[in-house]
Structures are given as C-alpha cells and as structure tokens.
C-alpha cells in the first residue's frame, strides 16, 4: 500500500508531546519528512531523536509560536532542510490552570492564552502560506476544539474564546486560498486522555462528570486524532476545505442544534 504522504514535508507545532507528537509519528509512518516544533527544547530534541531512531527524517526547531520571528524561522528551516513545505499543522496550544470565567480570569492569563492559541495559528499561517504557495499548494490543519462550537462544561473562557477564533480564522483562510490549491481546515478534538485535560480531571468524580456528555462514553486518544490529521493532510481529503472537522466521540452531534 502506497504511503499517503510520500514526498511531502510536514511541520507540526506543539510537537514534543500529545497530539503533536503522535501526529508527527503518523506523518512519518506515511512517508513525510517532519519538522517538529516546540517551545520545550529538551522534550522537542528528544522527540525528534526518537522519530529518527524509528526511521523518520525529522528535524527539531525550538520556537515560541506567539513570536513572529520564531514562526518565520521555523518555516524557513523546513524549506532550507527539506526544500519545501506541503503540510502545516498549527497544533501548539495551552490551557491555563487559572483560566476560569470572566470575573475570575486574570487579564494576563487571557492574553497569554490568546497569544499562543490564536495568534500562534495566525503567525503559522502568515509565514506558512507563502511556503505552501511556493510548493504548489498544500494543506493547513489548525487545532481548534469542540468548545469552539459549544460552551465548555468547566469555565475556561480564554481557552474557549481562543479556539472559537481559530475556527473562524480557518474558515476565512479556506475561502481566501481555495483557488491556490491551499486547503485550510479546523480540527476540533473532543475530550482526550492527554496531560492537558487530565490535570483538570484529577478525580474520578470529575472524570465521570465529563464522560456523561460524551455519547461514546470514553475519552479519545491522541493516536485517534493523529489519524484524522493524516487524512486532512493527505490527498484523500482533496475536496475538503473550510471544514469544522470534529473528532469528539459524538459530543457536537448531541449538543449542537443546526441553524
């Protein structure tokens, strides 16, 4: 069976752990050359080395996605090292422990969350789109969330607002660049068994309170999200752009009312 991303160069932000790392591994398994980007140099270097041990062509770039110069540099590194960029997975994101409702959330927490989760996606696209254009087209996948479509059960206003922004940004860019063979889709994962969520759901009671809302009755795994990203990155999704691509165990089907 042919590799689905053979000959492609893919850049993954937030690639040192969780969804990012599993997606980088899945990209490599499908034949892509992978640029792994993360703020944590120690974890990112180790992750890229592990991928190379598994037979992948992988490069690590340390970058803060909220900084324009770092985003410009990561894209330049991809083109310099692998001659092109075909797939951009803007996945880096944070969920701050002090993110609550409008009254309790500090302005600094709100600003930090927006800078990483929304501005980081904007900057990735700002510098990534010209590279995809130079490559003759490609696929951008931006990590939003199921909370971009419905309110979160636990107050996390900055996170929810930032992911709603990612969804809106992705839709507009999809329309703008559709005739350039540049596809832009918003990935909307549901609750996952990752470090980002489990730090909040630290008791069985909290877990069950969240699980009752998931029709499938379980948390998703990062590997399941990675396979969805591979589809959006590959030519199999060649007629998919501007999509709100939910991988959420049925949550939005159960709770979002069609307009």
Give yes or no: 159 in active site.
yes
The answer to whether residues 103 and 152 touch, using CB atoms and an 8 Å cutoff, is no
From 127, 159, 200, 255, active-site residue:
159
3-state secondary structure the chain: CCCCCCCCEEEEECCCCHHHHHHHHHHHHCCCEEEEEECCHHHHHHHHHHHHHCCCCEEEEECCCCCHHHHHHHHHHHHHHHCCCCEEEECCCCCCCCCCCCCCCCHHHHHHHHHHHHHHHHHHHHHHHHHHHHCCCEEEEEECCHHHCCCCCCCCHHHHHHHHHHHHHHHHHHHHHHHHCEEEEEEEECCECCHHHHCCCCCHHHHHHHHCCCCCCCCECHHHHHHHHHHHHCHHHCCCCCCEEEECCCHHHHHCCCC
- The residues assigned a catalytic role are 159
């Amino acid at each position: 069976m042919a590799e689905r991303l053979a000959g492609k160069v893919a850049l993954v932000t937030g690639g040192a752990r969780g969804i990012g790392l599993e997606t980088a591994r899945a990209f490599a398994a499908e034949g892509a050359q992978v640029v792994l980007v993360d703020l944590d140099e120690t974890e990112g270097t180790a992750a890229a080395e592990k991928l190379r041990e598994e037979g992948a062509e992988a490069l690590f770039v340390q970058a803060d996605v909220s900084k324009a110069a770092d985003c410009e540099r990561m894209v330049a590194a991809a083109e310099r090292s692998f001659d092109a960029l075909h797939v951009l997975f803007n996945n880096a994101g944070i969920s701050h422990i002090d993110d609550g409702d409008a009254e309790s959330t500090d302005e600094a927490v709100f600003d930090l969350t927006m800078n990483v989760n929304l501005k980081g996606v904007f900057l990735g696209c700002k510098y990534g789109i010209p590279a995809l254009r130079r490559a003759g087209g490609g696929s951008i996948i931006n990590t939003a969330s199921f909370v971009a479509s419905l309110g979160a059960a636990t107050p996390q206003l900055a996170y929810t607002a930032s992911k709603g922004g990612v969804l809106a940004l992705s839709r507009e860019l999809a329309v703008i660049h559709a005739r350039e063979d540049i596809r832009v889709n918003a990935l909307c994962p549901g609750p996952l068994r990752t470090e980002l969520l489990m730090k909040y759901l630290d008791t069985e009671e909290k877990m069950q309170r969240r699980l009752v809302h998931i029709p499938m009755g379980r948390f998703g795994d990062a590997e399941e999200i990675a396979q969805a990203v591979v589809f959006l990155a590959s030519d199999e999704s060649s007629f998919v752009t501007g999509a709100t691509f939910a991988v959420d165990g049925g949550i939005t089907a159960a709770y979002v009312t069609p307009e």
